[in-house]
Structure 1
Amino acid sequence: MTAPSKQRNPLRDPRDKRLPRIAGPSGLVIFGVTGDLSRKKLMPAIYDLANRGLLPPGFALVGFARRDWADQDFMQVVHDAVKEHARTPFRQTVWDQLAEGIRFVQGTFDDDSAFDSLAATIADLDRDRGTGGNHAFYLSVPPSAFTTVVNQLKRAGLASGENPSQWRRVVIEKPFGHDLASAKQLNKTVNAVFPEESVFRIDHYLGKETVQNILALRFANQLYEPIWNANYVDHVQITMAEDIGLGGRAGYYDGIGAARDVIQNHLLQLLALIAMEEPVSFKPSDLRTEKVKVLSATRPALPLAETTARGQYTGGWQGGQKVPGLLEEGGFSKDSTTETYAAITAEVNTRRWAGVPFYLRTGKRLGRRVTEVAVVFKRAPHLPFDDTATEELGQNALVVRVQPDEGVTIRFGSKVPGNTMEVRDVTMDFGYGHAFTESSPEAYERLLLDVLLGEPSLFPKNDEVELSWEILDPVLRHWAGAGAPEKYKAGTWGPASADAMMARTGRHWRRP
C-alpha cells in the first residue's frame, strides 16, 4: 500500500531543506511604510518569508501613510524595496501571489475616517484573501505616536477579532520610553488596548542567529557550564560599535543618546542571556522568567563617576576620508549634550556572578563596525614558563561575534614551535559562513514570523523593559548633572575616560 503523497507548497524554495514553522491565515498592517526601516528591512523580510514558503498563500500586507498613493503605487514601492534589499532571489511567481494581497490606506494617525477605511480594507481582505480575521499591526512610527495609533485601533474595532479564535497583535519598535516613568506609562497605555500576550516589542538583535546561539552554546554543551561563574570568569565585555555617524538622524537621536538607544535594550538583553540560569524549558514563559531574574539582580556599579563614561565624537579621519563631528552635522544644536558613546559597569548580584563586572559599551564613529560578547577568564594562578613574557600571554576568552563576521572565537595559550617552552595566545575560530551551507535568515524574518505565529520568546515583556530602565536611570540622572560629554575623535575607540574606567580595576578594553 502506497503512502499518500504530501501536498507541496509551490512557493517553498526547493533548496530550503529545513522543516520550518509556517504561519496560518493572517495579514500585516505597517504604520510608517515610507520610512527606511520598512523599505530596507520589513518589506524585504516579508518577501523572503514568502519565498521560503513560510507565509500562507493568502497573506495580506497593508500599508498606512499620508502619501497620496493607490494600491498600485504602494505595490511598486514594495516591489522596488524587494528587488533592492531582499536576501533571497527574486521569483516572479512568489511576487505575483504576494502582490495580490497588497493594499494601501491613506491617512494620518488622528484621522478617524482613515482608520474606518482601514477597518473596511481588513474586512475585505478577510473575505477575499481568507486572512481569517488575524492581523498584526506594526508601529514603525515615533514613540510619541504609539498612544494615538493604539487608541485609534481600539476605536475602529481593530484591536480584537470578532470571535475568540481570531487574534490581533501589535508590534512596537524601540525606544520603549525614555526612562522608567515613561516606559511604565507606555506599557499601561498599550496594555489598556492589547493584552500583554498580544504585545510584541521588537529588539532586532534578539532575532540574530548568533544571539540565539548564546543559548545553544551555553545549554547544549557541558564544556562551558562548570567554568561559567565567578570562580573562573574575571569579567564580561559586551560591545556594539558602529563606524557610521548620525547625519540625517538628528530628529530621532538628539536627546536620546547612545545609552537609551542601545544599552537599555540590546546590550542588557545580551547580558541577560549570558548571565541567566538554565530555564526549565525553552518555552517563552520559562525563558523570560530567567531573564527577569537576572535583570532584577543587576545594578550599575558605584561610584558612577568612576564606573561609567560617555563621549561625543568630533571630526576626524575614518576609512580614508575626513568626516564631521556631531555638532557639525545637520539638525544638532551647537551645545547638544547628546552622547554618541556610552559605557557602564554593571553588577549581577547572584551567587553565580557576584564580583564579576559586566562592561557594556556602545558608540558611533568608532574604529570599526562590530558587535561581540567577550567572556574573559581569570589568569592561571601559576605560570611555570620561564621563556614566556607576561605580556605575550593574555587571559583566556570566549568571544561570541554577533556581527558582521558571525561566529565564536576561543583564545588560549599555546606553545610556540622551537626548543624553548614559550607560550603565546592563539585562537580557535568558528564561523557561520564556513560551518553551514545555508545562510542565516535576516533578523526581521525570524521576528516577523514569530509575530504571525504568536511565538513571544524573542520579545521583551513589559517587566523586562521596566527593569532595564531601573538599571539605566541612575546613570542617566548622574550624567544629566555632569555637564557635556567628553570629546573623542572619529575613527578612534571612544573617550579617554572609558579607558580610565577600565584601568582603575587593572583591566582594558578588547580591541575587536
Structure 2
Amino acid sequence: MSTDYPEVEQGEPPLPSSNPLRDPADRRLPRIAGPSGLVIFGVTGDLSRKKLMPAIYDLANRGLLPPGFSLVGFARREWEDEDFAKEVHDAVKQHSRTPFREEVWQQLAKGMRFIQGSFDDDEAFEHLRKTIQDLDAAQGTGGNFAFYLSVPPSAFPIVVQQLKKHGLADPPNGSWRRAVIEKPFGHDLASAQELNRIVHEVFPRDEVFRIDHYLGKETVQNILALRFANTMFEPIWNRSYVDHVQITMAEDIGIGGRAGYYDGIGAARDVIQNHLLQLMALTAIEEPASFHPKALVAEKLKVLSAVKLPADLGGHTVRGQYTTGWQGGEEVPGYLDEDGINPESTTDTYAAIKLEINNRRWAGVPFYLRTGKRLGRRVTEIAVVFKRAPYLPFDAYATEELGQNALVIRVQPDEGVTVRFGSKVPGTSFEVRDVTMDFQYGESFTESSPEAYERLILDVLLGDANLFPRHQEVELSWQILDPIEKYWDSHGKPAQYPAGTWGPAEADEMLARDGRSWRRP
C-alpha cells in the first residue's frame, strides 16, 4: 500500500541507494560510506578545527570511511597542502574522540588538499574543480563530493552560486554532489525563504543537508526509541496524562569571542528557532509510518504546523540579558560589558516562550521552551511532567514532599533518562516522597557515544536525511518565532538577570501565572 505525505513536495527524486557493502535488511551492521570526498569552506574556523576535522578522523579510525576518502580545505590562508595536513593533524591530536593511530592518519592524509582563495575568486574555484577531478583519478572518489559551508550565513549565496558557475554542483554521471549548510539558516522567515530559493536553484532539494548538530546526539535520537520501542510510555504520552513539557538548553558560558556573530541574533534565533523547536517536534510527533526521511519529516511538519502562540505574548514570553555576576567562583562581566558589544544592545541572551500544539494528542498542554547564557550550569533536557493523581488515599502530611511524576531526557551532559515517582519512606510511618530511577548511557553501554558531527557527516556521505531539517521545517520554525521577535522589538529592553543565576524573575512569573514552576536541573 502506498503512502502519501502531502506536506512534502511530491516528485522529489528518491534518496540514493544503500551502500552496496552493507545489507540494508540488517540494521546492526555498520554503515560504511562509499567512494567520496568532502570540501570544507571556512576550514580555518573553530567549528572545523574542533568538530569537523576530528569527526572525520574518528570516522576513518572506526573504518566507516572508504580508503580513498578525500578532504579539501578552502580558505584565504596562504597554505600549501602540507600546511593544511599539519593543521588537520594538530586538530585531530587535540580534539579527536578515538585514539590516534599513525596508519589511519597516513591513509587519510593521502587525500588531503588545500585551495587558497576568497569566495569571489573565480581562479580559486577553477583550481577546486581541477583538484576534484585529480582526486577522482588518484583516490577513486567517483565524482562524489559534499560541500560543507562552515561560513557566515551572509556567504552562503555567493559560495553556492560559485559552485554552480564553475560546474562543481553538477555531478558526473552516476555520482552525486551535496551541499551541507550550518545554522543559522536565515534570520527570519523572509531571509530563510530567499536562501532556500538560492540553494534549490543549484542543488536538488534532497541533496541539501541543513545541519542541526543537536539532532545528531544519541540522546535526541533516543527520544524516538524511548517512545516507539516501549509500550509503557506511549499510552500516557498525551493530554490525558501530561500536565506540561519543559525543554531547556542552559549554558554556563558567555558569548566568548562571538560578539560579531551573536549581537543582533540572540538566544531565541540562535537556539529556540532550530534546536528547541526540533526537540519539541520529536517529543510531540505521532508514530511515523517508517523512519524514512519523508515519513519522519511529514510527522514533524504536522506538529510545527499545529503550534499555537500564546494570546498574551507579554505574559508568556520573556527575553533577558545577563549582567555582572559570579560563576565558577569568579566575577564575570555582563553582556553589555563584553568586548565588541554595543552598550545599547537589546540582544537577548535568555529567552523563554510558551507554546501549545493544537491537535488531539496535545491540545491544552503547554510546552515551555527556554535557553540562556551565563545560567546556573550547562544542561540540555526535555522534562515531561505528568498530572497529579486524581485521588491520593493518604493523609495530607504523608504526601507533603510529593511532587509530580516526571520523565526527564538528559541530552547533555550525563546523557540518559531519569524517571521521578513517589515511593514510601522507610520506617514505621507512612510517608511518600519523590525518588528517581536513573539510566545513564555511559553505564549501560560499553561503547562510547559518537560525537554528533560523526553521525551527521557520515549521514551526508550516505545520503541519509533523517537527522537534517528540511526547508519546510526551517520556514515553519521562523513562522513561529517571527511574531515573538517582532513583539520584543517593539516593547522595550530585555529583562536583566545576574550571571550564574537561572534567568530573570519575569521567567519565573511566566510559569507562576499558570500555577507552575521551572524545574531546577
Any unmatched runs of 5+ in structure 2?
Answer: 1-26
Q: Which residue of 1 aligns with 2:82?
A: 72
Contact 1:250 1:330 in 2 (8 A): yes
Per-residue deviation at 1:266? 0.2
Comparing 389-398 with 124-133, which one deviates more in the overlay?
Answer: 389-398
Contact 2:273 2:478 in 1 (8 A): yes
Q: Which residue of 2 aligns with 1:200?
A: 209
Aligned match of 1:131 in 131, 137, 141?
Answer: 141
Code of the aligned partner of 1:459: F
Q: Give the share of equivalent positions with the same residue, in percent.
A: 75
- State the aligned residue count: 495
Aligned match of 1:189 in 181, 198, 205?
Answer: 198
Q: Deviations over 1:162-192 (max 9, x none)?
A: 21x1100000000010000110000001000
Q: Which residue of 1 aligns with 2:387?
A: 378
User: Secondary structure, in 3 states, of the residue corresponding to 2:136?
Assistant: helix
Contact 1:388 1:424 in 2 (8 A): no
Contact 2:216 2:452 in 1 (8 A): yes
Q: Which residue of 1 aligns with 2:7?
A: none
Q: Does 1:53 align with 2:63?
A: yes
Q: Which residue of 1 aligns with 2:295?
A: 286
Per-residue deviation at 1:387? 5.6
Per-residue deviation at 1:18? 6.2
Contact 1:388 1:423 in 2 (8 A): no
Q: Which residue of 1 aligns with 2:487?
A: 478
Contact 1:32 1:141 in 2 (8 A): yes
Q: Which residue of 1 aligns with 2:433?
A: 424
User: Secondary structure, in 3 states, of the residue corresponding to 1:510?
Assistant: coil
Aligned match of 1:210 in 204, 219, 224?
Answer: 219
Code of the aligned partner of 1:36: D
User: Secondary structure, in 3 states, of the residue corresponding to 1:388?
Assistant: helix
Q: What is the TM-score with the length of structure 1 in the denominator?
A: 0.96
Q: Which residue of 2 aligns with 1:344?
A: 353
Aligned match of 1:33 in 43, 61, 84?
Answer: 43
Q: Which residue of 1 aligns with 2:8?
A: none
Code of the aligned partner of 2:202: V
Contact 2:399 2:432 in 1 (8 A): no
User: Secondary structure, in 3 states, of the residue corresponding to 1:392?
Assistant: coil
Any unmatched runs of 5+ in structure 1?
Answer: 1-16
Per-residue deviation at 1:385? 1.6
Per-residue deviation at 1:435? 0.3
Q: Which residue of 1 aligns with 2:330?
A: 321
Per-residue deviation at 1:140? 0.3
Contact 1:60 1:131 in 2 (8 A): yes
Aligned match of 2:514 in 472, 490, 505?
Answer: 505
Q: Does 1:436 align with 2:436?
A: no
Code of the aligned partner of 2:342: S
Q: Which residue of 2 aligns with 1:245?
A: 254
Q: Deviations over 1:321-376 (max 9, x none)?
A: 11000111101000000000000001100100000000000000000000000000
Per-residue deviation at 1:41? 0.1
Q: Which residue of 2 aligns with 1:296?
A: 305
Contact 1:387 1:422 in 2 (8 A): no
User: Secondary structure, in 3 states, of the residue corresponding to 2:202?
Assistant: coil
Contact 1:372 1:400 in 2 (8 A): yes
Code of the aligned partner of 2:406: A
User: Secondary structure, in 3 states, of the residue corresponding to 1:237?
Assistant: strand
User: Secondary structure, in 3 states, of the residue corresponding to 2:397?
Assistant: coil
Q: Distance in 2 between matches of 1:390 and 1:250?
A: 49
Q: Distance in 1 between matches of 2:31 and 2:483?
A: 42
Q: Which residue of 2 aligns with 1:151?
A: 161
Q: Which residue of 2 aligns with 1:44?
A: 54
Code of the aligned partner of 2:280: L
Q: Distance in 2 between matches of 1:74 and 1:157?
A: 25
Q: Which residue of 1 aligns with 2:92?
A: 82
Q: Distance in 2 between matches of 1:475 and 1:144?
A: 23
Code of the aligned partner of 1:347: E
Q: Does 1:330 align with 2:333?
A: no
Contact 1:300 1:472 in 2 (8 A): no
Q: Distance in 2 between matches of 1:197 and 1:455?
A: 10
Per-residue deviation at 1:490? 0.2
Q: Deviations over 1:95-132 (max 9, x none)?
A: 00000000000000001110000000000000100000
Contact 2:353 2:370 in 1 (8 A): yes
Code of the aligned partner of 1:355: G
User: Secondary structure, in 3 states, of the residue corresponding to 2:83?
Assistant: helix
Q: Distance in 2 between matches of 1:510 and 1:91?
A: 44
Q: Which residue of 2 aligns with 1:496?
A: 505
Contact 1:234 1:377 in 2 (8 A): yes
Q: Which residue of 2 aligns with 1:452?
A: 461
Per-residue deviation at 1:247? 2.5
Q: Distance in 1 between matches of 2:192 and 2:432?
A: 51
Comparing 17-26 with 412-421, which one deviates more in the overlay?
Answer: 17-26
Q: Distance in 2 between matches of 1:299 and 1:138?
A: 35
Q: Which residue of 1 aligns with 2:314?
A: 305
Contact 2:399 2:433 in 1 (8 A): no
Contact 2:111 2:135 in 1 (8 A): yes
Q: Distance in 1 between matches of 2:313 and 2:396?
A: 41
Per-residue deviation at 1:390? 5.0
CA RMSD of superposed structures (Å): 0.9
User: Secondary structure, in 3 states, of the residue corresponding to 1:192?
Assistant: helix
List structure 1 segments (4+ residues) > 6 angstroms apart after TM superposition.
Answer: none
Aligned match of 2:233 in 183, 202, 224?
Answer: 224
Q: Which residue of 1 aligns with 2:366?
A: 357
Contact 1:388 1:421 in 2 (8 A): no
